[in-house]
Amino acid sequence: MNPSPRCAGVLLHVTSLPGGPVGDLGASAYRFVDWLAAAGQSVWQVLPLVPAAGDGSPYSGVSSVAGNPLLIAVPGESARGPARVDFAAAWRAKEPRLRGMVEELHRDQAERRAFDEFTGRQRDWLDDYALFRALADRHGAVMGWPEDLRRRDPEALRRAAAELADEVRFHQTAQLLFDRQWQALRRYARDRGVRIAGDMAFYVSQHSADVWAHPELFAVDPATLALQGVGGVPPDAFSETGQRWGVPVYAWAAHAADGYRWWLQRMAKTAEQVDVVRIDHFRGFESFWNVPGDAPTAASGAWIPGPGRELFDAIRSAGGAPEIWAEDLGEITPAVEALRDQLGLPGMRVLQFAFDESGGANIHLPFHHPQQCVVYTGTHDNDTVLGWWTSSDAARKERVRRYLGRMRRARVPGALVRMAYGSVARHAVVPLQDLLGLSGRARMNLPGTVSPTNWSWRAAPGAFTRRRARALAGLAADYGRLPAP
User: Could you list the active site residues?
Assistant: 280, 327, 381
Q: Residue 374: which H helix or E strand, with range?
A: strand 373-376
10 Å CB burial of residue 294 (0-12, 13-18, 19+) is: exposed
Q: Name residues whose C-beta falls within 8 Å of residue 14's C-beta, 6 or more positions apart in sequence.
A: 23, 24, 25, 29, 46, 49, 71
Number of alpha helices (DSSP H) and beta strands (DSSP E) in the chain: 17, 12
Angle, helix 412-422 to helix 466-478, in steps of 10 degrees: 40
- DSSP result, 229-295: EEEEE--BTTBTT-EEEEEEPB-HHHHHHTTSHHHHHHHHHHHHH-SEEEETTGGGGTEEEEEETT-
Whole-number Å distance between alpha carbons of 233 and 386: 28
Torsion of Cα atoms, 383 then 385 then 388 then 393, to 10°: 170
Contact predicate 234/332, CB 8 Å = no
Contact predicate 143/224, CB 8 Å = yes
What burial letters (b/e) apply to 204-226, b meaning 16+ CB within 10 Å?
bbbbbbbbbbbbebbbbeeeebe
Neighbours of 165 (CB within 10 A): 12
Contact predicate 334/286, CB 8 Å = no
Whole-number Å distance between alpha carbons of 21 and 90: 5
Three-state DSSP at 455 gives coil
Contact predicate 425/43, CB 8 Å = no
Q: Residue 68: which H helix or E strand, with range?
A: none
Q: Residue 395: which H helix or E strand, with range?
A: helix 394-404
Neighbours of 260 (CB within 10 A): 23
**Integer CA distances (angstroms), 370 to 122, 423, 425, 477, in order:** 40, 9, 6, 21
